[in-house]
Every structure is written in C-alpha cells, then in structure tokens.
Amino acid sequence: MSLALETRDLTKTFDVGKRLLRPPKAQVHAVHPTSLRVENGETLGIVGESGCGKSTLARMLVGLLPPSSGTIEIEGLSGGSSPADFGRVIQYVFQDPVSSLNPRKTIRQILEAPLIHLHGMGRSERAARIDEIFDSVSLRGEFLNRYPHEFSGGQAQRIGIARALAANARILVLDEPVSALDVSVQAQVLNLLADLKDELGLTYLFISHDLAVVEAVSDRVAVLYFGAVVEEGRAENIFASPRHPYTRLLAESAPVVGRPIGGQAQGELPDPMNPPPGCAFASRCPRATDICRTDRPELRPIEGDQRAACHHPLDP
Amino acid sequence: MSTFLKLLARNRLAVFGAAVLGAIILLVVITPLLPLPDPNATATADRFKRPFSDGFILGTDHLGRDLFSRLLWGTQLSLAVGLAAALIAGTIGAAIGIVAGYFGGRIDNVIMRAIDMLMAFPYILLALAIVAALGPGLLNALYAVAAVNIPFFARNVRGVTVSIAHKEFVDAARLSGMGHLRIITTEILPNVLPVVVIAMSTTIGWMILETAGLSFLGLGSQPPQADLGSMLGEARAAMITAPHTSIVPGVMILLIVMSVNLLGDGVRDALDPRLRSGALSRPMAATLVRRDETPPEKTDTKAVLSLENLETRFEVGARIYRAVGGVSLAIQPGECVGLIGESGSGKSVTALSVMGLVASPPGVVTGGAVRLNGQDLIGAPYARLRALRGDRVAYIFQDPLSTLHPLYRVGDQLTEAIRVHHRISRDAAHERAVKLLEDVHIPNARARARSYPHELSGGMRQRVAIAMALANEPEVIIADEPTTALDVTVQAQILKLLDNLRRDRGVSILFITHDFGVVGQLCDRVAVMYAGRIVEEGTTAEVLDAPAHPYTKRLIACVPELGAGRRELHAIPGLPPAVDQLPHGCAFAPRCHKATGLCATSDIPLDGRKRKVRCILPEEDVA
Ligand SMILES: Nc1ncnc2c1ncn2[C@@H]1O[C@H](COP(=O)(O)OP(=O)(O)O)[C@@H](O)[C@H]1O
Ligand code: SF4
Ligand code: SF4
Ligand SMILES: [Mg+2]
C-alpha cells in the first residue's frame, strides 16, 4: 500500500491574550508534536474528548490553519501551499452540517464553487458532474435549486459530503460528521460514507468522540489526549485490549448495555496554559509513578503495530 | 419577505411613519412638476406674508420668497443629502468593518483602535472640525456627516462579520479554492447586507438632522439655495415677529426625523429573528391548559408521578404541532424510568409539561392528567405549581447554564434555592449547600462554592445543577439528556452519581436520553417514543434484549456498540414524520418494512399490561 498522508512532528501553538506590540500573554499548546501515517484506502479513526486537539489537527491537515512547526506531506504537497492546493487533494466534512452551508446560496451554487475554482470546469461539464455527485449521495436533483434551510440535518450532511466529493479529492477529513445527527440518520450517513469509499477508493480520517462509531468504521485508531497521540493501533484491538490507561478509561466509560457503569477515574484535564512536565494523564492515572510526573512518555511500539505513550503500559 | 411585511404591518407606529414618509417623498418627487413660484425669487415688498395670504400657501420669508416652494425644494435637498450621507457612511463603514472582521488579527486591531479614537470625539465637534477644514458648503457638510457616521457602521458590521467569518461555510469556501476577495463578496457580503440596511434605516433620520444642524449654523447649504437647516437658520432673526418662517421648516424636520425613525425601528424589529419566532412575546408563568374532558380516572395508586394520556400541542398560526399525543407513564418510588427517542419525538415537551414549563404561547396542554402522589397538576393554580417546582419535582437539563445564573456564585445560588422552600438561616442554608456540593463529589466543595458558573468545566457545572436539583430533597428528578453534551468519561461519573442518589435516597428519576447504552446501565424500565407517542414500554432488559416494536428493534440495530468491531449498520430509511402532519394510523408505517394496509387505517393502541407495544404485528409476543 502507498502512503496517502504523513505528518512529522506537527504542532500548533495558539497565542492567547494577543497585544498590539508586545508579545502575547501566554501560549496554548493545542497540538503537541504529532506524527501520523495514513495509507491509501485506509480509514484512520481519531478519538478524544472535547478540547484534546482533534479539530485543530484536522484543520492543519486541510490547510485551514498553518502549523506552528512540523510538516504535512500529502501527495507531494507540503508547507506553503494555499488552501486551494490542498483542496484538490484533501477535503473537509464539517460537524455542523447546517452552518457549513451558506444560507444565501442555492445547493447548486455551493456545489459549483469547487468545480469552478479548483478545476475550472465549463457550464455543461459542471452540470453533468453535479448530477453525478448528487446521485452518488442519494439526493434528488430537484433539491439543487433550494436553499440550505430547507433541509434536515441528515440531508444537509449529504450535501456537505457532496461538496467534498466535488473537489475530486482522494482524502476526506471527516470531523465528527455524524455527531449532530439522530441515530437512525447517523447510520444512513455512515453507510453512505462506506459505500462512497468502496466506489471511489477514498481515504478517510474519521474524527469522533464516539468510540463505538469509530470502532465500527475505522481500520486503525489514534487516541488523542491533551493534544498528543497516546495510543495507536488496529480498531479491533485498541478498545478491546488497550495498552494506555487513558484508552482503557475511555473504553470503560462508554455506556454499553449489560455492563455496569464504569470508568470512575476522577480528576480533570490539566491546564493547557500550564501543562505538567511529565505524562499529562498522571493526575488521573491509577498506575502513575514518580517517573510519570517528571518524564513525558514517547509513543513507542508495544506489540505488533499497537503503539502507546506510557511508561507502564497495561498488559493485554 | 411576506412575513417581514406582515410583521411590519402589525406595527402601527411603523405604518404611521411609513405613511407620513411616503407622503413627503411623493411631494418632493412631484415638486418639479408643480406650478410653484421660483424658490429663490426675492420680492422685498412681500416680506413676512402670513400663511394663506395673497396666494402664498405658507406665506413668505424675510426676502419675500414663497415659503411653500422653498419648503418643498429644501425638503428634497435635505432628503437627498441625508440619503447620500447614509449611503456613503454605510458603504465605507461596511467596507472597513468587513475588512477588519474578516482578516482579524493585527489589521483588525489597528483599524478598530482608529475607529475607537474617532468615536471618542463628540460627534458634532468632529463634524464641525471637518467642515472647518474643508470650508463651508453643502457637499462638504455631507462629507462631514458621512464621515462622523462611518465608525458606527464599521463597528456594527465588524461584529457581524466576525461571527460570519468563523462559520464553517467560510472555511468550506476556502477549501473550494475561493480567494479572499471572492469570499468577501459572495460569502460574507450577502449575509452582512441586511445589517447594513437596518443600520442605515435607523440612522438616516439623524443624518438629515445633523446636515440640517450644519446648514443652520451656516456651514452647509449657501444662500440662496434652500435646505431645511438653512431655512431655519435664516428664520432665526424673525423668530418672534414672524414665527411661521421657523415653524414651517421646523415641523418638516420633525415629521421627517420622526417618520424615518418610526419606520426604521419597525424594520429592525420585523427583521429580528426573536420577534419572528414569537420569543419576545412574554410567556405565561405556567403552560396554558385547555382540557375539554375531565381528567381520566386514576389508574396507578402507588406511583409517585403518573402521566395519563397527556396531550400537549403547539399552535403556531394555522398549524398544530401535536408534540405529545397522549402519553401515559407511571414512575414508582425509587424507580428510574428511561424515556428514549430521537430528536423531535416529544421527550422534552413531555418532561416540561409535568410542571407546566412549556412556553405558552404557543404551547397548550389539551388533555390528560399529570398526578403527583395522586394530585392532578394540570390546571393547578400557579402558586401551587411554583411551590412544587424545585421542591417536590426537580429538573436537570442538558445545558446546566440554563438553570445556573451566570452572575452569582454557585454556592449562593444553592443557598437561595434552599431558602425559597425552607425557612432556615442563611448560614445554615450555606452549610447545606456545601454539603450538597460534597454529595455530588465536587472536590474542595467549600472553595468551589465561591466560583461563578463560567469558571467551572462542563462536568462540574452539571454536578452543580444536580446539587441544585437535590437541594430540597425532591421525590422526583426529571433529567433531560443531562449527559448528552459531556465527554464519555465525565458522563460515566455523572451517571454513577445519579445511580447512587437513587439507591441511597430513593428519589425517582425520569431519565430522558437518545442513548440505549445509557438506558441499559441506569434505568429499570424504559419507554420508547416516536412522533409524540410511546410505542413500546417494558423493563429495560426486556425491551433491549427483545424489542417488540419494529421501530425499537431497528433503532437498536442502527447503533454501533463498542466491542462489536467493524460492521455494517442497518439504517432505517426515511425520516420521522413532522408532528403537524402525522400520517393516519401508525406513525411509523411509512418507514416500516412490515407495514400492511391495516396499519394505516385506524389508530393503533398501546397494548399489553406491564410490557406494552403499539403495533399490530409486533416482533415479540407481549401478552
Ligand atoms: N483559536 C484558538 N485560540 C486559543 N486556543 C484555541 C483556539 N482553537 C482551539 N484552541 C484550544 O485548542 C485546544 C484543542 O481544541 P480543538 O482542536 O477545538 O479540540 P476538539 O476538536 O477535540 O474539541 C483546546 O484547548 C482549545 O481551547
Ligand atoms: S505514563 Fe504513567 S501516568 Fe502516564 S499513563 Fe502511563 S502509567 Fe499513567
Ligand atoms: S403497526 Fe404496522 S406499520 Fe406500525 S410498526 Fe407495527 S407493523 Fe409497522
Ligand atoms: Mg471539535
């Protein structure tokens, strides 16, 4: 298999309390050095709790946010490329389907934008392509002349997916694409994504806070905590036999019928402006020892292709 | 557009303003066609003629010029100048605001500092300074008035632009390959334009007044050209001897500014989305009740809370949304009952109906009963509901901020909540508040009691909201998706907390959710809602292991469960029906693979004694 996307030590630091002439008051490390590899045709799931840096990472991958350091390699693209250059190879599907569509444009105008600006298509060519895409996301052609507010969440998300497909990119970053949808509609959209992937040979980065959804759609999963990947492995193993204590906490916290309420670890995320020196999970971790509070653990292979950033990884 | 006009037409003052302004505009438009004397022709012999004398409708001024003619021509000029100033200020201000708001960062900083500096000067002083620099003249007065109004537009438009520029569709446009200029003109501008138009309609009156002010001081229109300000200025000397020369332009200025402002305010209100949804009309203290029949007989005597055939609807214009269409549900002491369903199925309205918390208008309870320990609450006097709210029945919502006041410390809010229903000293109540915070496992409770809600994380806030609900040891807690907005690890903590509370204190819980996993872990019994009705009810184990209603069965199959690995999900095609156009018979029939002709012909009852299902071809035998 060939590589679709690779990041090397990608980081993002935000300045908070910007001032006109003096340096900012503080810095927030939203994404710590992160190295990810995604193969062509693969689905990489990215899970983590709110504020752990999922969206920031995703926005860097599609060129909406310049990284503070590190590199992104996507089919030969690298630093300095414009969102338009990125747009032809990687696209983004947003969490909130309704606010990702301009309320004052018709669906046709929205879908035409990437065809015009990324591919310079003529009028008749565009019409044919839009019909084809609309068909592939199972929407009726008559919707094309309507405005976004006339659609339900599930339909709007199909339109968002159609726009990403219109750019003809081979890699899609799906940022919580079904979180705003009801469960019965969620399944419709997930199945649509699976079909499109098979038909068009797409590569997905699937971001979600819902472990069960991620497990159901991904080949591999990366678990993010406090801006860093703490564990990475095959979807069928990572929650079934987690090696990082945080992954285990996540898996035990997920409500599953027939299992008692689990995951009782107390405590909260560390302060991002004042990150602890060692492992970010140490204050909540039952296995923490002295070294955990002083040395930051590196992501390292534990078994097979399962990797974890922990000084005392769990036994399988 | 038609709703906009309808709302505008409902506003009497705005209609009056529009009528007056329309008449004035009509007059100045036809002015060139009227057989009027030359407004600038002087005739000293005819000075200071009174109105209606010698064929001068409004008399003459100090140079014997016809006042009526001068008034019309002057009004035309003043209106044109005011409009031009508004257009100039609006265009330049909007451009500045958009650039600052869209690009943000340093550009925004520099621009907005400059605007702040301009705004720090008194308005009219600034205008005077500009005219002084440019020299007197109507055009210069126009520039001055436009210039001093630019900051107002720039600020307003910047604010709106910032919120739009952060919308996801702008990111999507960038990924579609659009450049900044194109994004500004096709994505931002169309969304900002309504704000600019509203701002113009509400300020143009003042701009006319300001131009008149400059002309009055002799800095605007120069003699002999008439505008309203200069007419007033020239009449100043004869204010006592010939008051009509001042009154005529004065009344016109008053009429214009008043009518423009009335209309402008009307336009602004009619475009306000809150007004459209009726949110600005004051809701009643308790939900309106319009029950035709006497409440049905009491069926369950042991239940703490029992809903019997409850019907709540929303009446919006001619449409009737049957949000709750006959829900019966009983909760025993110490029991936790789950109410599960997709969004829009009526879970929250059911919950809010219990204590009359559904907003009226448009909500109306049209049938059924809600009994708390046997006493019907529907139609109970407001005083009684208020005494029970928070005391016997407490709510926890998805967004804890909806029950926490942002400006008070959480400890003080808890103390207040306790003292509303109990006559105890402030100190004793405070001690109890701290104890409550400890009970919900807030670390360092005494110190945290001094925090404001915004200083707490989402999970902590929800704990405070639970402490608030527990403040008066209620018999029933109604929890409406209390963990939906929380992360899984925090959700697990909150669920554990609720589970312990119920076991330790014997509180009954009505737990509303869309998550089968949560129901499975927390609830004894569960009721499944679809399109405003309960379609299935039973013990949690029965319903989850062997769902009897086709909807329940297929909904469970939709949801991936952790540990099942990669798999195909079985989606339900279609969407739930809108509750203002429910299909006849079974509401699920259009999506049901088992549906037969019979399903759509008559109403399908909820059958069974303990285990109930509303289906004529159930998946499991429930008898
Ligand atoms: N523009 C910004 N300025 C400052 N901090 C930010 C900004 N955007 C995100 N962050 C911070 O970065 C961290 C990660 O945020 P985000 O990527 O949105 O996480 P997630 O997608 O997992 O919710 C959070 O601590 C958040 O507060
Ligand atoms: S490094 Fe230490 S504190 Fe961090 S997760 Fe591993 S055992 Fe826990
Ligand atoms: S009543 Fe008929 S349509 Fe309704 S759920 Fe049962 S089988 Fe399906
Ligand atoms: Mg996010």
Q: Are B348 and B322 in contact (CB under 8 A)?
A: no
Encoded amino acid at A44, one letter? L
DSSP, res B21: H
Predicted confidence (pLDDT) at residue B28 exceeds the cutoff of 60: yes
Token pair 């020369």 in the structure block, residue = B245
CATH of the domain at B128: 1.10.3720.10
CB contact B54 to A (< 8 Å): no
For B492, the closest of A100, A187, A263 (CB atoms) is: A263
Mean of pLDDT values over A62-85: 80
Q: Are residues B184 and B326 in the same domain?
A: no
User: pLDDT class for A18, splitting at 50, 70, 90?
Assistant: low
DSSP run (H or E) holding B452: none
Domain boundary among B558, B575, B593: B558
Q: Are residues B112 and B207 in the same domain?
A: yes
Neighbours of A305 (CB within 10 A): 11
Residue B422 lies in a domain: no
Residue B283 lies in a domain: no
Tell me which residues of chain B, numbers 116 to 175, contact chain A at a CB-CB cutoff of 8 Å. 167-169, 171-175
Mean of pLDDT values over B391-420: 89
B169–A99 CB contact, under 8 Å = yes
Question: What is the B595 CA–ligand 3 centroid distance (Å)?
Answer: 5
Question: What mean pLDDT is reported for chain B?
Answer: 88
Residue B439 lies in a domain: no
* Cα of B184 to nearest chain A Cα, Å: 12
Q: Which bound ligand lies closest to the C-alpha atom of B553?
A: 3
Q: Is the CB of A297 under 6 A from ligand 2?
A: yes
Mean of pLDDT values over B165-175: 92
Mean pLDDT is lowest, of A248-252, A269-273, B430-434, B553-557, for A269-273
User: pLDDT class for B328, splitting at 50, 70, 90?
Assistant: very high
Write out chain A residues lying below 8 Å of B177, CB-based: 83-84, 87-88, 113-114, 116-118, 167
CB contact B487 to A (< 8 Å): yes
Question: What is the A208 CA–ligand 4 centroid distance (Å)?
Answer: 8
Number of H helices, E strands in chain B: 22, 12
User: pLDDT class for B290, splitting at 50, 70, 90?
Assistant: confident
| pLDDT digits 0-9 by tens, B455-492 | 887 788 888 998 898 888 899 999 999 888 788 888 88
Q: Is the CB of A287 under 6 A from ligand 2?
A: yes
A211–B515 CB contact, under 8 Å = no
CB contact B110 to A (< 8 Å): yes
CB contact B1 to A (< 8 Å): no
Q: Are residues B227 and B339 in the same domain?
A: no
User: pLDDT class for B56, splitting at 50, 70, 90?
Assistant: confident
Residue B161 lies in a domain: yes
For A102, the closest of B187, B520, B521 (CB atoms) is: B187
- Percentage with pLDDT > 70 across chain B: 97
DSSP, res B465: H
Cα-to-chain-centroid distance, residue B394: 25
DSSP run (H or E) holding B367: strand B363-372
Q: What is the pLDDT of residue B96?
A: 95
Among protein residues, the one whose CA lies closest to atom 26 of ligand 1: A51
Closest by Cα among A162, A163, A196, A160 to A177: A160
Q: B560: helix, coil or strand?
A: coil
Neighbours of A256 (CB within 10 A): 22
* Cα of B403 to nearest chain A Cα, Å: 22
Encoded amino acid at B12, one letter? R
Domains of chain A, first to last = 3-218 (3.40.50.300)
Q: Are residues B357 and B504 in the same domain?
A: yes
User: pLDDT class for A267, splitting at 50, 70, 90?
Assistant: low
B492–A262 CB contact, under 8 Å = yes
**Residue B171 burial (10 A CB sphere; 0-12, 13-18, 19+):** buried
Q: Tell me which of A152 and A47 has the higher pLDDT.
A: A47
Q: Which residues line ligand 3 (CB under 6 A)?
A: B 550, 586, 588-589, 592, 594-595, 599, 604, 615-617
Angstrom CA distances, A159 to A152, A170, A174, B31, stand at: 11, 17, 14, 55
Predicted confidence (pLDDT) at residue B330 exceeds the cutoff of 90: yes
Closest by Cα among B82, B138, B141, B127 to B260: B82
Interatomic CA distance for residues B345 and B531, integer angstroms:
5
Mean of pLDDT values over A12-22: 75
* Cα of A79 to nearest chain B Cα, Å: 16
Whole-structure pTM value: 0.84
Q: What is the pLDDT of residue A224?
A: 95
* Cα of B462 to nearest chain A Cα, Å: 14
Among protein residues, the one whose CA lies closest to atom 5 of ligand 1: A14
* Cα of B280 to nearest chain A Cα, Å: 22
B488–A256 CB contact, under 8 Å = no
| pLDDT digits 0-9 by tens, B545-578 | 999 999 999 999 888 888 877 777 888 888 888 8
Mean of pLDDT values over A205-223: 94
Question: What is the A176 CA–ligand 4 centroid distance (Å)?
Answer: 7
Predicted confidence (pLDDT) at residue A1 exceeds the cutoff of 70: no
Q: Are residues B86 and B207 in the same domain?
A: yes
Residue B20 lies in a domain: no
Mean of pLDDT values over B229-242: 86
A259–B568 CB contact, under 8 Å = no
A163–B487 CB contact, under 8 Å = no
Q: Is the CB of A200 under 6 A from ligand 1?
A: no
DSSP, res B485: T
Q: What is the pLDDT of residue A19?
A: 66
Q: Is the CB of A11 under 6 A from ligand 1?
A: no
Q: What is the pLDDT of residue B277?
A: 53
Question: What is the B528 CA–ligand 3 centroid distance (Å)?
Answer: 14
Closest by Cα among B18, B147, B135 to B88: B147
Q: Are residues B220 and B328 in the same domain?
A: no
CB contact B273 to A (< 8 Å): no
Q: Are residues B232 and B314 in the same domain?
A: no
Q: Are residues B388 and B499 in the same domain?
A: yes
Q: Are residues B87 and B209 in the same domain?
A: yes
CB contact B530 to A (< 8 Å): no
Angstrom CA distances, B190 to A65, B166, B183, B383, B563, stand at: 25, 15, 10, 49, 48
Q: Which range of residues forms the domain containing residue B219?
A: 67-238
Q: Are residues B141 and B226 in the same domain?
A: yes
Handedness of CA B75, B79, B84, B89 (dihedral sign): positive
Q: Are residues B105 and B181 in the same domain?
A: yes
Write out chain A residues lying below 8 Å of B566, CB-based: 215-219, 235-236
Write out chain A residues lying below 8 Å of B492, CB-based: 252-253, 255, 261-264
User: pLDDT class for A221, splitting at 50, 70, 90?
Assistant: very high
Domain boundary among B523, B539, B558: B558
| pLDDT digits 0-9 by tens, B241-282 | 888 888 989 999 999 989 998 998 888 777 766 555 555 566
Q: Are residues B229 and B117 in the same domain?
A: yes
CB contact B246 to A (< 8 Å): no
Q: Is the CB of A310 under 6 A from ligand 2?
A: yes
Tell me which residues of chain B, numbers 297 to 316, contact chain A at a CB-CB cutoff of 8 Å. none
Write out chain B residues lying below 8 Å of A235, CB-based: 565-566
Predicted confidence (pLDDT) at residue A198 exceeds the cutoff of 90: yes
Question: What is the B589 CA–ligand 3 centroid distance (Å)?
Answer: 5
Question: What mean pLDDT is reported for chain A?
Answer: 89
Predicted confidence (pLDDT) at residue B203 exceeds the cutoff of 70: yes
Residue B289 lies in a domain: no
Q: What is the pLDDT of residue A265?
A: 62
Mean pLDDT is lowest, of A101-105, B252-256, B299-303, B530-534, for B299-303
Question: What is the A51 CA–ligand 4 centroid distance (Å)?
Answer: 7
Q: Which atom of ligand 2 lies at the shortest distance from residue A282's CA?
A: 3
Q: Is the CB of A27 under 6 A from ligand 1?
A: no
For B565, the closest of A18, A88, A236 (CB atoms) is: A236
CB contact B570 to A (< 8 Å): yes
| pLDDT digits 0-9 by tens, A139-183 | 888 889 999 988 888 889 999 999 999 999 999 999 999 988 888
B487–A254 CB contact, under 8 Å = no
* Cα of A69 to nearest chain B Cα, Å: 20
List phi, psi (to 5°) of A112: -75, -30
Predicted confidence (pLDDT) at residue B194 exceeds the cutoff of 90: no
DSSP run (H or E) holding B469: helix B458-470
Q: Is the CB of A288 under 6 A from ligand 2?
A: yes
A249–B489 CB contact, under 8 Å = yes
Mean of pLDDT values over A83-106: 88
Residue B311 lies in a domain: yes
Number of domain units in chain B: 2
* Cα of A275 to nearest chain B Cα, Å: 17
Interatomic CA distance for residues B438 and B504, integer angstroms:
15
Encoded amino acid at B282, one letter? R
Residue B577 lies in a domain: no
| pLDDT digits 0-9 by tens, B342-380 | 888 999 999 999 998 898 878 899 988 999 988 888 888
Q: What is the pLDDT of residue B480?
A: 93
Domain boundary among B511, B533, B558: B558
Predicted confidence (pLDDT) at residue A50 exceeds the cutoff of 90: no
CA closest to B175 among chain A residues: A87
CATH of the domain at B320: 3.40.50.300
